Amino acid sequence: MAPPKHLIILASHDPTSLELNILEQLDVKWMYWHNTPQALLPVAEKPAITWTVESAWFYGLEVTIVANAYNYKQYERWATESHFPADHLLNCGVSSGALGDLGFMQRVTPVTADTLVIASPLLLSKQDVKQLMSCEAPQTVQTGHPCVVAVTSAMLDVLASSQAVVPAENTYDGMTRDLAHWVKESEPNAKETKITLPYEAFLAVENVTAYDRYLESNEFHELRTTHANDIAPVSSGLEPIRVKSYARVGLMGNPSDGFFGCTMSLLIANFWAQVTLVPNASASDASIELLTHRFADGRRFGTAQSLAACCEQDGYDHGDRLLLACIKVFIRYCQENRLAQVDAKTRGFRLGFLTNIPRQVGLAGSSAIVSACWRALMQYHGLDEAHIPLAKQASLVLQVEVDELGIAAGLQDRVSQIYGGLVFMDFNKEYMEANGHGQYTPLPVSLVPDLYLAYIAHPEDSGKVHSTVKKRFLDGDKQVIDAMKNFASYARDARDALQQGAHDKFADLMTCNFEMRRKTYGDAVVGAANLRMVELVRQFGGHAKFCGSGGAIIISLNGCKDDAVHGLQHALEKEGFVFVKLIPQELRSTTQ
């Protein structure tokens, strides 16, 4: 009997009870750990998953972690700091359940030996791994509430080739149940073994006691924080403000929003940025504090080597600058227009943000943070669109990024995130110069057909795409000027096509938009990875265009064969791209 050679950790499940409990804690200490996957919470001064990975490595096991689009960034930062190989950390996009995610993994990085599979909250010591090394696949190992399964590569191959949609639970409990059921169904005579692991207190049993159990357990040290003092939660009597702003996809016409053209954009519920504003306990406390999230922290690193690696990966532009610039522009605008009392006597607040919007792929991640911050500030100061019209708000949010921070950007993102839903935008030059903003027309989200999104897992800076074309436009280059007019006409035609239900025409316009962009910018600027994504879409009879400035594409499979979705998904994933179905977002933002 050969021992297992591999350990697969499924980190693609929904947030656990412990994660949700922590998310409700609004004192400084706990806000630092908001949105942190349970496996990345500290256990005896290390992230829990680090103990598991190091134990597996000690016994020579190769480790693969499957994350999802919502927690991948946190795991990526952990991997960089922990020297975990990047090619063994996978992003499945939206989880398809334990079996679907294992099939995804096997298509992308095939495993050829017997393998142990666990869900990420299960912490394994060296002693635990030693016990599990004797498991013969296929086998289910019960460890109290959770389970570990030992499976063969042939079982994984079956999942990789399957296109059947199997009902699945994406909770931690659901995934462990599905794993055990799968082994039993695949091999009715599979062994069932029971062992005891010492770290079950950390496991996310789906009940309200998870948070208390974590705090009370003697196994674990108190959470570390960058703050010198342990600040206890103190209520101001005012409710905290939470505002979400969603990612944006450019349906048509981009990039002409920066060139007096027309565009049509849609907010999607798949990805979002959330700003939380907590009023200070004392009305006389005018201080403002920006709170840093553990995996967006640009000031704390495990080692000098991890600092260098994180800078190489993420650069030097952190979200704090977006919040600072937004607060500054808001304060000055209110003071100049006498809209609200914002002075040394105004009660201050603590402000932090979370985001799961993929970085640098043209989904308006930075403007989502700014627009969420802007709306939180307006709510805190009792302002609404009667005080600052929506069109003006969009222009001010653009001012934060362009004038304050020098970010290359157009109005499209900010208009979408302030108005919400589906919006047609006309940036006619004469109207813009006379009014300071364009003409914006909200449209019913129900007009949008089924669409999909693919994006590059490891992108480069999206702001570079605009640079030379903008200069050519300002210099009067006829090719660029004509191209921007064409983009604007595509947007108008696409609006009409959606209103008429002409989805075939809409899809054809997507191809026209992409080809015009390719002709105008050139293949070197469009980039080989972007071109490859579009090529794969066309192999399955689909249409595609950029969502924004590059790194992500929006896809229509209207009129394609029934198996086109799964076929395209598998083809994209095999080459390292992330694929998800778009979920249109009706509201401009939600306040909780």
Distance CA 236, CA 27 (A): 12
β-pair type (62-67, 6-10): parallel
178, 413, 493, 508: the active-site residue: 413
Which candidate, 202, 142, 199, 180, places its Cα nearest to that of 17? 202
β-pair type (262-279, 191-194): unpaired
Distance CA 221, CA 200 (A): 16
Distance CA 488, CA 493 (A): 9
**Is-catalytic flag, 562?**
no
Distance CA 451, CA 558 (A): 9
- Is 132:116 a contact under the CB 8 Å cutoff? yes
**Residue 561: C-alpha distances to residues 539, 566, 572 (Å):** 12, 10, 17
Distance CA 525, CA 423 (A): 28
Phi, psi of 180 (to 5 degrees): -65, -40
Distance CA 32, CA 354 (A): 10
Q: By CB neighbour count within 10 A (0-12 exposed, 13-18 middle, 19+ buried), where does 492 fall? A: middle
Give me the amino acid identity at 116: L
The structure tokens 């079956």 sit at 158
In 260-376, the DSSP E strands lie at 262-279, 288-291, 349-355
- Is 421:445 a contact under the CB 8 Å cutoff? yes
Cβ count within 10 A of residue 184: 15
Q: Residue 410 is encoded by which pair of tokens?
A: 């157009």
Segment holding 47, helix H or strand E: strand 46-47
Q: How does DSSP assign 366-423, residue by residue?
A: HHHHHHHHHHHHHHHTT--TTTS-HHHHHHHHHHIIIIIT-----SHHHHHHHH-SEE
Q: Residue 385 is encoded by which pair of tokens?
A: 């669109």
Distance CA 564, CA 560 (A): 6
Cβ count within 10 A of residue 107: 18
Cβ count within 10 A of residue 518: 17
Q: Which residues pair with 79 in a beta bridge?
A: none
| Dihedral over Cα of 524, 526, 527, 531: its sign | negative
- Is 349:287 a contact under the CB 8 Å cutoff? no
Which candidate, 271, 221, 220, 225, places its Cα nearest to that of 248? 271
Q: By CB neighbour count within 10 A (0-12 exposed, 13-18 middle, 19+ buried), where does 228 fall? A: exposed
- By annotation, the residues acting in catalysis are 413
